Amino acid sequence: MMEGETHYEILGIDQGATQDKIHRAYTALLKEAQTIPDSEGLRAFMARAKVAYQVLSHPESRAVYHEQMEMMEPPKRKWELEKEDRMHPALYMGIFAFLFGLPGLVLTGLYAWFTRKGRADT
């Protein structure tokens, strides 16, 4: 399995997929592979798809796989804040400007912070 590629991604399904959906996804890959000219990359991908299907098609091995996935996730550090609890960079700019006596930059930073709602970077 390639780094960052889960069995679900290989089969093109989500983690909540039913057994029927897993089977249909694997058979669709098999049918699609028959239309593609044979190559080393195709054989390697189909080998990964076969392993993914074998793991996910049995409830016991699927549960073990889920446990392994959870163990591989990096633990959340205690000192990391949630995104909504972090200070906006514009507020840092305003504080910096206030400390160094730059009143125009203070107002710019505060304005940017107060008008941040609805923007993608918030």
Enter the pTM of the model: 0.57
The average pLDDT across 92-102 equals 71
Whether residue 100 is predicted with pLDDT greater than 50 in this model: the reply is yes
The CATH number of residue 21's host domain is: 1.10.287.110
CB 56 within 8 A of CB 11: yes
Task: State the Cα–Cα distance between residues 33 and 41, nearest whole angstrom.
Answer: 11
pLDDT in tens, 27-63: 999 999 888 888 898 899 999 999 999 999 999 999 9
pLDDT for residue 72: 78
Examine residue 120 and state whether it is found in any structural domain, yes or no: no
Q: How many separate domains does the chain show? A: 2
Verify that 11 and 67 share a domain, yes or no. Answer: yes
Collect all residues with Cβ–Cβ distance below 8 Å to 47 and sequence separation of at least 6: none
Q: Is residue 68 located within the same domain as residue 87? A: no
Closest CA to 66 of 10, 22, 7, 9: 7
